[in-house]
Structures are given as C-alpha cells and as structure tokens.
Structure 1
Amino acid sequence: MEHGTIIPRPTESELELLQILWEKQPATVREIHDALNQDRPSGYTTVLKMLQIMTAKGLVVRDEANRAHVYRAALSQDSMQSKILKDLSKRLFAGSAAQLALHALSMEPASEDELSEIRALIERKRNAASSDHRQIKHIRKDRP
C-alpha cells in the first residue's frame, strides 16, 4: 500500500473478515467463507461481495495471479488497531491517549498479566521521555 493512503474505518462486518485474514492470510474467498461460517451462517456470494467492496476501499488486497483470488489485509492488525484508536482518541478524548486508556481500564477489569504489560509500557515511556529530556538539555548546553 502506498504511504499516506487513507484507509477508511472498517464496518463491524468488515472487521470480522479482517480478523479472519489476520489469522489466516493470505486466504481465498472459500477459506474466509468457511472460517466465517464456524461462527454464524453466511453466503459465499455475500463474502465475495464484501471482499470486492473492501478491495475497492483499500482494506484488503487481492492477488489475481491464480484462478482463485487470494486476499490479504492491506494493514496489519496492529496498524489497524492504532488507526482506529487514534481516531477514537481524537473524537472522544480530545486526542489524549492517556484519557482513552484510563477510561478503558475503568470499564473492564485487567488481568495481572495485562497490568504487568501496562506497567512495563509506562516504564518504557518514562525512560524514553527521560532520555529525550537529557538530549534536549545536552543540545541546549552545547549552543554558544
């Protein structure tokens, strides 16, 4: 995908298909259809049409080299999550990632493993901020 290309926010149904692709990618329409049908019934042509729409939107990429078209997600799961959360943060929390995180943590209990990950992230952020602060002081000190 081209750098700077705007990818639209996926609908709930599109997210379902993206979840399957992130797990199995690349995948044919048949493989995606079969995976989707494990959770709920859906028609093959419905899945095909959704993938065609998602291709036009830039959410998935289609490889037409073989007889069966093969699809893969245009963005990694991590990139899509970051894009959606950044948009949500801007719209609901005035761009504050901290407020978004605090709100999310207050809604649902976090496991000990998740809390450990959060503590580790906070420590990495503190260390990075401290390092940035030291570099700025060093640059200012070197100026005539």
Structure 2
Amino acid sequence: MARDNTNIKPTEAELTLLNVLWKVGPATVRQVHDVVSKTQKTGYTTVLKILQIMHEKTLVIRDESNRAHVYAPSNSEIFTQSSLLKDLASKAFGGSTSKLVMRALDESTSKEEIADIRQLLNELEK
C-alpha cells in the first residue's frame, strides 16, 4: 500500500534503513541494527530514533502488537526511487528526464547496463 507522502524525502540515513527494510522485509529495530552494523558503526539507539522519526514522517509503518515493534516501509522501493528521481529531475535538470539520463550515463556504465537500458527503451517504444 503506497501512502501519499511524495513530498517527504528521506535523508541519507533514512534511505539506508529503508534499503534494509526493502531487502529483509518487516523487521524489528534489533534486526535492522544488526544488518546496518555490518557495514557501518551505528548504535542501536540511533537506529531506533531514526525509525521513530521515519514513522512520524510516514516513511515507515509500525506494528505495535508485540513487545518488539516491527517496522516496514510505507512505500515500495520503486515508488520511492521514482519520487526521488522526479524531484531530482525537477530541481537539477529543469524537469528534463533526458538530461538526467545523459548525465547519469558515462564511461563507467557497464555493457550489461547499456544492454538493459537498450532493452527497456525498445519496450517503451512498442
């Protein structure tokens, strides 16, 4: 269920936690902290506080039926990515999707990524 919170943009720290939730599914603070702490030094209480703020901002939903609250993203990864890209295109590229894509593609783009992009463009043209 996608909530209409497109005007609310997650911070970098919030995106880190959202990526964990999109990958593992609904999780407790402990579970999210365990995943995050594998790649960066973050305290349990920091993860808890960020998730609480995200709940207030409607970026996550919280199941309070058990002692350990379970958090889940309010919106899908694709929905959130699309919202962020639209905002970026509007703010940095004058609303031009083609300018955004041309800037994103450079010599670091792999042959596999180019093939995927070409396939997507062919599907969009049909």
Question: How many aligned positions are there?
Answer: 126
The TM-score, its normalising length taken from structure 1, stands at 0.81
Contact 2:22-2:77 at 8 Å conserved across structures: yes
The separation in 1 between residues aligned to 2:11 and 2:5, in whole angstroms, is 18
- Give the 3-state SS of the residue equivalent to 2:95 in structure 1: coil
- Larger Rg over CA atoms: 1
The one-letter code matched in structure 2 to 1:43 is: G
TM-score (structure 2 length as normaliser):
0.92
- Structure 2 contact 3–75 (Cα < 8 Å) conserved: no
Secondary structure of the residue aligned to 1:88 is helix
Unaligned runs of 5+ in 2: none
Is the alpha carbon distance of 1:3 and 1:76 closer, same or farther for their aligned partners in structure 2, counting shifts above 3 Å? Answer: closer
- C-alpha deviation, 1:4, in angstroms: 3.5
Q: Which has the higher helix share?
A: 1
Deviation beyond 2 Å, 4+ runs, structure 1: 1-7
How far the C-alpha of 1:14 sits from its partner, in A, is 0.6
Larger RCO (CA within 8 A; separation ≥ 6): 2
Q: Percent sequence identity over matched residues?
A: 47
- State the Cα deviation string for residues 57-102 of structure 1 (Å, max 9, x = none): 0111101111110001111111111100000001111111111001
Give structure 1 stretches of 5+ with no counterpart: 128-144
1:7 touches 1:57 (CA, 8 Å); kept in 2? no
CA contact under 8 A between 2:5 and 2:59: conserved in structure 1?
no
Equivalent AA in structure 2 for residue 41 of structure 1 = K
